[in-house]
Amino acid sequence: MERLVVISNRTGDLENKTQTGGLAVGIVDALRSRGGMWVGWNGEVGRESKASRKTYDNVISLTMPLSEEEHEQYYLGFANKVLWPAFHYRLDLMDHRTEFVDRYAAVNRKFADMTCPHLREDDLIWIHDYHLIPLAAEFRQRDCRQKIGFFLHIPFPSADVFSAIPYHDWLRECFLQFDLIGLQTKNDVQNFCRYLREHSDVEFITSNTVRWHDQVITIADFPIGIDVQQFAEMAHQDDDTIELERMRRTVLKRFQIISADRLDYSKGLPQRMKAFRKFLEDCPEYQGRAEYLQIASPSREDVSAYADIRAELEGLTGAVNGKFADFNWAPIQYINRNIPREQLAQLFRCSLVGLITPLRDGMNLVAKEYVAAQDDKDPGILILSKFAGAAEELDQAIIVNPYDIHDVAQALKRAAVMSMDERRERHRSLLKQVTGNDANQWKDNYLAALQSAGTSGELKKRF
């Protein structure tokens, strides 16, 4: 079996599997079973840190630091002030400077320089996410003939939106150096193919396979999954605090709502808080009973759009609590820090509603984790944005328009009175879906497609 080489902006933890999310679990398993290499940034910035090469049994971890300029212009700059907002339909938040794209290209060259000397001829190369779109082109320039696949974790926007990105032509040329382009949803695949039809001369061989010069490229959806069993086990390791929470739900008839997101403007947090406020206004009988717990883990705090959203949320939490709270009840609990994964799983389990309403999301693993954490005897209800990639699979959730505060408030009302039979029926179907396409299945599907993609390893030199 070919060795696997995974390259992503950040590498995962090859030692401690239980602390990692769906993506890392799938990748660690694949690396361990095939042997291989994981290449990425070590998370450090500055001159003190050095590139390193460590071996964990049959897996090599190859990491490097970023300089201050690289961090500023490649990571915070082109990746997170241009590509992230644009791919999430926030062209208004795009903040481009020419040095950003130059540094983005330069860091990709650096990744290629670091990786190339360690590659074997029959390696399968799997590159992840928007930070590394030009990497296959860099490899091809260095005469690499291996199969190279890409997986985009975030949405691929509509053709118009993509074409508004500075240097989209260059990004397109870079995309076309991969053998396989994996996206989260069918909608993403349609957007990508439509963009190619409208903005390039590629020849379509099938609806999702194109020829560009002598290269055949497949574009397909691989919806990412989670390790369902591991998450369910964590959710069911009871401890005393969680037992108490469960009692509050059953004895005091609390209507517990939970959300967990990175604090990111794409996740729709202010709209969600406003929808909860509307629910309290429309259903006064839930004042004193409904509790909304928002866990918002800090993220990219050096980017100003992230500081703005944080200030907005603090204002909204204060306003809603100030208006509705009583001496023994506050409607919103807002935690702006990272909490342990086990605790998150247990909190999901004792919350009657998982309220997951991003404005745009590649997939949204929290939605799948919420489903995996439920008891089949007394399962909670998933309310899910139609703009989360997960909505394509999880159609038995209550699907909402996250921009429509009235619609989300109505969904909360519907959840509050949903019969146990309906809850069980929906949960059974959701769990079947989440289990049927878990992290392992995702990784197996992707790697099988990569193995059979492209042009059977012939030398394709395009430069």
Which residues are tagged catalytic?
153, 361
What count of other Cβ atoms lies within 10 Å of the Cβ of residue 56?
13
Closest distance of CB 129 from ligand GDG, Å: 8
146 or 230: CB nearest ligand GDG: 230
Stretch touching ligand GDG by CB under 6 A, among 52-60, 116-124, 200-208, 339-347: 339-347
Residues paired with residue 230 on neighbouring β-strands, in sequence order: none
Closest distance of CB 8 from ligand GDG, Å: 11
Euclidean distance between CA atoms 48 and 71, whole angstroms: 14
Please, what's the largest Cα pairwise distance for the chain?
A: 72
User: Is residue 128 near ligand GDG by the rule CB under 6 A?
Assistant: no
Q: Whose structure tokens read 């074997």?
A: 120
In order, the DSSP letters of 222-256 are ------HHHHHHHHT---HHHHHHHHHHHTS--EE
Q: What contacts 238, CB < 8 A, 6 or more positions away?
A: 346
Euclidean distance between CA atoms 413 and 399, whole angstroms: 13
Closest distance of CB 157 from ligand GDG, Å: 13
Euclidean distance between CA atoms 122 and 33, whole angstroms: 16
Phi, psi of 2 (to 5 degrees): -65, 150
What count of other Cβ atoms lies within 10 Å of the Cβ of residue 48?
7
The interface with ligand GDG within residues 179-238 (CB under 6 A) comprises 224
Closest distance of CB 243 from ligand GDG, Å: 21
Euclidean distance between CA atoms 71 and 106, whole angstroms: 12
Q: Which of 93, 208, 175, 244 is nearest to 449 (CA)?
A: 208
Closest distance of CB 258 from ligand GDG, Å: 11
Dihedral Cα 306, 307, 309, 314, nearest 10 deg: 140
Question: Three-class SS of residue 181?
Answer: strand
Stretch touching ligand GDG by CB under 6 A, among 244-252, 282-290, 359-367, 429-437: 359-367
Site string for ligand GDG, 360-379 (x = CB under 6 A): -xxxxxx--x----------
User: Is residue 21 near ligand GDG by the rule CB under 6 A?
Assistant: yes
User: Is residue 37 near ligand GDG by the rule CB under 6 A?
Assistant: no
363 or 415: CB nearest ligand GDG: 363
23 or 309: CB nearest ligand GDG: 23
The interface with ligand GDG within residues 273-332 (CB under 6 A) comprises 295, 297
Closest distance of CB 341 from ligand GDG, Å: 4
| Chosen residue from 341, 386, 413, 460 binding ligand GDG by CB under 6 A | 341
Pairing relationship of beta strands 59-66 and 52-56 according to DSSP bridges: antiparallel
Euclidean distance between CA atoms 19 and 8, whole angstroms: 18
Question: Three-class SS of residue 221?
Answer: strand
278 or 349: CB nearest ligand GDG: 349
Closest distance of CB 246 from ligand GDG, Å: 20
20 or 108: CB nearest ligand GDG: 20
Stretch touching ligand GDG by CB under 6 A, among 31-39, 197-205, 211-219, 356-364: 356-364
User: Is residue 168 near ligand GDG by the rule CB under 6 A?
Assistant: no
Site string for ligand GDG, 237-276 (x = CB under 6 A): -----------------------x-x--------------
Phi, psi of 294 (to 5 degrees): -110, 115
Q: Which residues bind ligand GDG (CB under 6 A)?
A: 21, 23, 153-154, 224, 260, 262, 295, 297, 338-341, 344, 361-366, 369
